Amino acid sequence: MARIAPEVIDRVRDAANIVDIISQYLDLRKRGQNFVGICPFHNDTHPSLYVSPVKEIYKCFACGAGGNVFTFLTEYDKISFVDAVKQLGAKYGIEVKLSGESEDKDYYSKLYDLHEYAANIFQKRLFSDESKNVISYLTERGLLTDTIKKFRLGISSTGWEDLINKVKSQNYSKDVIEKSGLFTKTEKGIFDRFRNRIMFPIFNQSGKIIAFGGRTLDKDEPAKYLNSPDTQLYHKSDVLYGLHLSRQAIREKEAVFLVEGYMDFIQLYQAGIENVIAASGTALTERHVQQIKKFTNRVFLTYDGDQAGTNATIRAGYLLYHGGVEPLVVVVPKGMDPDDWVREKGAEAIMQGAESAISLIDFQISSKNIKDLSSAERSQFVDDILFAIADIGDSIIRNSILKNISQRLQIDENELLQRLKREQARQRTRGQKDDIVEQPIEFSSLIQKAQSILVKLLASDDPQIRQVVRDKIEIDLISEPVLKKLAEILLPIYNDINYSSIIDQFENKKEREIVANVLMEELPHEDDDLVAIINECILTLKSRLLKEQYKSARFKLRELELKGEETTELRMEVAQLHIELDKMGLL
């Protein structure tokens, strides 16, 4: 199995700045000594993820996710620990050598390798003599050669087995091939999924290829676009096309253009509008909205200027509202899409469209010829809007929408408010519920809390506090397996604690989250009597231990008495335990 020398891991860990790394993915805000942000590991609506630059660890106090910089990359990007170390090593200029890599590459690494291999084949074919007509088509669409190369565009073969035959020659396992999403398995065998299509590689936020979108070159093909299915690398409801390139521009501009297609994205990006993303392969999802919210709360919906685009705009707009993001609609000329618009009119037209962007409600109302609607149709139209906004959690957003409807449709705002309340009541009776977030494991019993406090104090950055605990604690008092292991790691440490490296000593994800929680939680206040707290915790744990010993000794005593065996020594032990428990007031 591929391994990295411990000293190299330590070098990379020491060089990495967890705040800088996580800031590449999340919008972090300073709060005291820590940084906070929206947690990417659950449907977070309020900043729950805390990042400690001092301890170089993170912890979500809502869902329980936690760990160090390596953990974050493995969980967020779905890469192996080895790949996380290599990725950070490359960033900080540290050479990371692996032993035994050729013998047993990581499973995820093989999946990434296969996608990279396929992308190279697709692009090589695109720039071959046999594909000159496709290059001409792309350049006629306004794409520069540098842009084609930047986005790794390619073309798939017209055959059924071209890619699969090449891949088989590279010794990829059957499991990796079948789970890559690049092929279709039938009773007759495994065949290429993409044939005679312009290929758009889809990247994760680390810039690794995880899937493909293919635009057909066959006029008779009913499916204009074909995308990779969901795989272990690719979940279309999570991935926003181009975010790996545009996220910095989005942060700087504090706004993003949201388009529908690959070509829309590429054309805007090429034209200099770099704060753009595309929800390709699927309609916008709640998970997409949460991804967007990590970078900005302002979205310019820039969808196609046809009826389908209008419907998609309205649907996406309400999803954004529900996620606490403000949607503004850039009105694309009828019959055009952003791709056509920017090619014909340039980036200036898009930017002017953003300057004159309208609210979602204004756009929805303008999409209907209100004057021609009957009273019943008009009322139903209003009800449809109220249904869509009834469960928006932000009252400011709801009230703003109601005010807008009132002004545009000349309906009394109080009447709208009453209708909204009735709709909310109906939705509650239908049992609509918020997403359930898995709660983190908590040490809730008195015994567990006492153990947790002692271990937390053992992890203090104050050596004097650690020494007080060390002088008083007995390792057998800690019975919770994770806490006991953590205590055993901490007890011999007399100098500064490397909190991040401690997390790496726990392989189980849930254990890492528990450890991160213990290491991140604040210690008792300075004015508290720490010695008294420590003594109370130890007394609690010793009483538990004594009670268990007393119970066990009495049970054994009864067994010996029933057998008629000698019990004098055991009776003395039970009596002594009884005296100790009585002194502690535990009888």
Residue 356 confidence (pLDDT): 95
Indicate if 133 and 266 belong to the same structural domain: no
- Give the pairing type, strands 298-301 and 256-259: parallel
Domain presence at residue 232: no
Residue 517 confidence (pLDDT): 87
Domain presence at residue 566: yes
Indicate if 159 and 297 belong to the same structural domain: no
Residue 586 confidence (pLDDT): 56
Residue 75 confidence (pLDDT): 92
Indicate if 416 and 287 belong to the same structural domain: yes
Q: Compute the distance between CA of residue 323 and CA of residue 288 in angstroms, rounded to an integer.
A: 10
- Give the pairing type, strands 66-67 and 57-60: antiparallel
How confident is the prediction for the chain on average, in pLDDT?
86
Residue 286, amino acid: E
Residue 360 confidence (pLDDT): 92
| H/E element, 66 | strand 66-67
Residue 100 confidence (pLDDT): 56
Indicate if 357 and 482 belong to the same structural domain: no
Domain presence at residue 255: yes
Please say whether the beta carbons of 357 and 330 come within 8 A: yes
DSSP labels for 154-172?
EE--SSSSHHHHHHHTTT-
Indicate if 136 and 29 belong to the same structural domain: no
Residues in the chain: 587
Indicate if 466 and 548 belong to the same structural domain: yes
Indicate if 221 and 335 belong to the same structural domain: no
Measured from the Cβ of residue 345, the count of other Cβ atoms closer than 10 Å reads 14
Indicate if 425 and 292 belong to the same structural domain: yes
CA 404: distance to chain centroid?
34
Which among 199, 227, 255 is the end of a domain? 227
pLDDT tens-digit readout, 486-497: 999 999 988 778
Indicate if 202 and 318 belong to the same structural domain: no
Which among 99, 125, 140 is the end of a domain? 99
Residue 584 confidence (pLDDT): 61
Residue 259: which domain range? 243-429
Written as six digits, the tokens of 548 are 């268990």
Residue 434 confidence (pLDDT): 45
Domain presence at residue 312: yes
The CATH number linked to 490 is 1.10.860
Distant-in-sequence, close-in-space partners of 303: CB < 8 Å, separation ≥ 6: 258, 259, 260, 309, 310, 312, 313, 316, 332, 338
From first to last of its 587 residues, the chain has per-residue pLDDT tens of 567 877 788 888 878 889 989 999 999 998 888 999 999 998 888 899 999 987 889 999 999 999 999 999 999 988 889 999 999 999 888 888 876 544 444 677 899 999 999 999 999 999 999 999 999 999 999 999 999 999 999 999 999 999 999 999 998 999 999 999 999 988 888 999 999 999 999 998 778 899 999 999 988 787 788 999 988 888 888 789 999 899 889 988 999 999 999 999 999 999 999 999 998 767 898 878 877 887 788 999 999 999 999 999 999 999 999 888 889 999 999 999 999 999 999 999 999 999 999 999 889 888 887 777 777 888 888 888 888 888 887 788 888 888 888 888 888 888 888 888 888 888 777 654 444 444 455 676 778 888 888 898 888 888 888 898 888 888 888 888 889 999 999 999 887 788 888 998 887 888 888 899 888 876 655 545 778 888 888 888 877 777 777 777 777 777 777 777 777 787 787 788 777 766 666 55
Indicate if 130 and 154 belong to the same structural domain: yes
Residue 98 confidence (pLDDT): 75
Domain presence at residue 435: no
pLDDT tens-digit readout, 425-453: 887 776 544 444 444 556 767 788 888 88
Helices 375-389 & 395-409 angle (0-180, nearest 10): 170
Please say whether the beta carbons of 132 and 165 come within 8 A: no
The CATH number linked to 169 is 3.90.980.10
pLDDT tens-digit readout, 157-188: 999 999 999 999 998 999 999 999 999 988 88
Q: How far is CA 352 from CA 216, 327, 357, in A?
A: 33, 17, 8
Domain presence at residue 198: yes
Q: What's the number of domains the chain is made of?
A: 4
Domain presence at residue 272: yes
- Which has the closest alpha carbon to 394: 479, 321, 454? 321
Residue 102 confidence (pLDDT): 45
Indicate if 288 and 418 belong to the same structural domain: yes
Which among 67, 99, 131 is the end of a domain? 99
Domain presence at residue 236: no
